Amino acid sequence: MFTLAHMSDLHIGPLPAPRRLELVNKRLFGYINWHKSRKGIHCRPTLDRLALDLQQENPDHIAITGDLVNLGMNEEYIQAQKWLEKLGSGDLVSVVPGNHDVYVPLLKKRGIGHWNAFMTNDGAKSHIHKSTRTGFPYVRRRGDVAIIGLSSAIPTMPLVAAGRLGANQRKKLLDILLALGEEKLFRVVLIHHPPMSLAGNWVRGLRDAQELRRVFLQAGAELILHGHDHTHKIRAMKGPAGRIPVVGIPSASVSNHPHKPLARYNLYHIERRPEGWNCQMTGRGLEGASCDVQTLCQLDLSAYVQNNSSFALKWKNTSCRDNQTVD
């Protein structure tokens, strides 16, 4: 059995003191918003507590789907790099960037390039595993599990948090998924923005979500993981051989929010069986006023894919259920 952990939207603090020139762009709006509300929501001790619990679960691999930083300042990338290195090595942890990680245009070596060890191919021989010129998609094979990392992060105007993959990355993804499918691997796709974004959602959604869904319809995948919305969502996307589970997760650092769930992460227990793949999901995180990380819900994703009207779901309490969206 292979266990994959997933966390997202870390928003690592504290926020470094910005240089004056760093605020002469979109960062000024983000800086005001951080001090107005976000710094009271995203808590570094909460993130560290969650990460410690995750490490104690000893997963085989850890996936992080973006928004490690807040305003895209150089010191933030270095701070996030140190946090990642404490969580695990580049072989253990895979990262894809979110919109906050590409907040403004930056040379890669000054931005997400600090995280290269967590976002590179692992030496696969086939030409189809070569990444695009942007470095994505990348492929990491861990036994029977293949992890494919995408980047939907693009610089945008103030008050806009949309994403886009682009035709080149989508074409490469299609080739990769088809080839890995031929090898009968369990294909996990990591992306920051929800691939189920509705057409016309140009402010916060994935702008080429419809084109991406066509890729999955043609090539398939076994699991798609995303962040961005700071909520727990379990949905399904059509694939060539059935339904593909699409799971979004709350922010890993939220300690106080009136409308969003508190910090949590998911564990996916993946096993090849004679009848096909089996994937069991366990959600762990904070609940209510408790500061202890605890099991919040358990879900048989394989049953969900077969029939989402009667899948095996065990909720700990109604508040976890109320934060869940199934459609």
Confidence of residue 9 (pLDDT cuts 50, 70, 90): very high
The b-or-e profile of 79-116 (16+ CB within 10 A means b, else e) is bbbebbeebbebebbbbbbbbbbbbeebeeeebbebbe
**The pLDDT of residue 110:** 76
* pLDDT for 323 beyond 60: no
CA dihedral 39, 42, 45, 50 (to 10 degrees): 180
Task: Give the pLDDT score at 22.
Answer: 79
Query: Which residues fall within 8 angstroms of residue 242, CB to CB, at 6 or more apart?
Result: 305, 306
Higher local confidence (pLDDT), 28 or 53: 53
Q: What pLDDT, on the 0 to 100 scale, is given for residue 130?
A: 52
Q: Mean pLDDT lowest for which of 17-21, 28-32, 86-90, 322-326?
A: 322-326
C-alpha 228: how far from chain center: 8
Question: Radius of gyration over alpha carbons of the chain, in Å?
Answer: 19
Average pLDDT, integer, range 216-230? 97
- What pLDDT sits at residue 304? 72
> What pLDDT does residue 172 have?
97
Query: For the domain that residue 80 is a member of, what is the CATH number?
Result: 3.60.21.10
pLDDT over 90 at 193, yes or no: yes
**Structural domain boundaries enclosing 275:** 2-326
pTM of the model: 0.91
Band the pLDDT of 135: cuts 50, 70, 90.
confident
pLDDT tens string 299-321:
998 877 666 543 434 434 333 44
Count up the domains in the chain and report the number: 1
Please give the mean pLDDT across all residues of the chain: 87
pLDDT at position 92: 97
* Residue 73: other Cβ atoms inside 10 A: 25
Tell me which of 51-65, 209-223, 231-245 is least confident: 231-245
| pLDDT of 86 over the 90 cut | yes
Asked if pLDDT for residue 73 goes beyond 80, the answer is yes
* AA identity, residue 275: E
Confidence of residue 40 (pLDDT cuts 50, 70, 90): confident
Phi, psi of 44 (to 5 degrees): -60, -45
pLDDT for the residue 114: 93
Q: Which residue has 């069991």 as its token pair? A: 280
Predicted local confidence at residue 320, as pLDDT: 41
Is residue 325's pLDDT more than 70? Answer: no
Helix (H) or strand (E) holding 49: helix 44-57
